[in-house]
Amino acid sequence: MLVLASASPRRSELLTQAGFRFAVHPAHIPEDPLEGEDPIVYVTRLARQKAEAVFRELTGANGGAGANRMDGHSSLAVLGADTTVTLDNAILGKPEDAADAARMLRLLSGRTHRVVTGVAVVTAKGAEVAAEATAVRFLTLSDREIAEYVSTGEPMDKSGAYAIQGRAARWIPRIEGCYFNVMGLPLALVCSLLDACKCVE
């Protein structure tokens, strides 16, 4: 049984698109980066922590109320993922408010940044962890374009304050790497990890 440890509708849509059957059980853990933490280390740490937290909850491995909820959990695989935007190796997470979103978009304007996603699959046998990075080029944005985009509300729950599958697509002339990674779930990498676990059809 595959469980997605995320409430992200985009990740659910992508997994469904790839033909997987799965349940959704979001993880609730602190997502702040550690001081000086490398972006790849950050996203892989969170992806693993999310998957491990949900695996423990579903199997009762922490001795809590989830005990005995998932009998025969040798077939359970929990998928965790975390995505962030990086510029000059600095992490740009989700904006705190509209002003912060505008600040991030001004930083990305006219430059190439990286989107990094950490992916982890946790089973009774252990954990498989990997990361994917995609380079994304932004056109130069005017203050008016930024203000109008921020006013739509779309940037507010997105790392780096934009969604490539949304209105921001008009400003992205090219990427180098996996498009689905920029959406939040690098499907080819996820499939490779699930295949390595040999427990999900």
> What domains are defined for the chain?
2-197 (3.90.950.10)
Q: Dump pLDDT digits (tens) for 50-83.
A: 999 999 999 986 544 443 344 456 789 999 999 9
Query: 96-139: per-residue pLDDT in tens?
Result: 999 999 999 999 999 999 999 999 999 999 999 999 999 999 99
Q: How far apart are CA 141 and CA 160, in angstroms?
A: 14
| pLDDT tens figures, 1-55 | 999 999 999 999 999 999 999 999 999 999 899 999 999 999 999 999 999 999 9
Mean pLDDT of 138-152: 98
> What element of type H or E holds 57?
helix 39-59
pLDDT confidence of residue 197 = 79
CB-CB contact of 139 with 173 (8 Å): yes
**pLDDT at res. 200:** 57
3-state percent breakdown (helix, strand, coil) of the chain, nearest 5: 40, 25, 35
Catalytically active residues, by annotation: 82
SS3 114: strand
**Is-above-0.85 flag for pTM?**
yes
**pLDDT at position 92:** 95
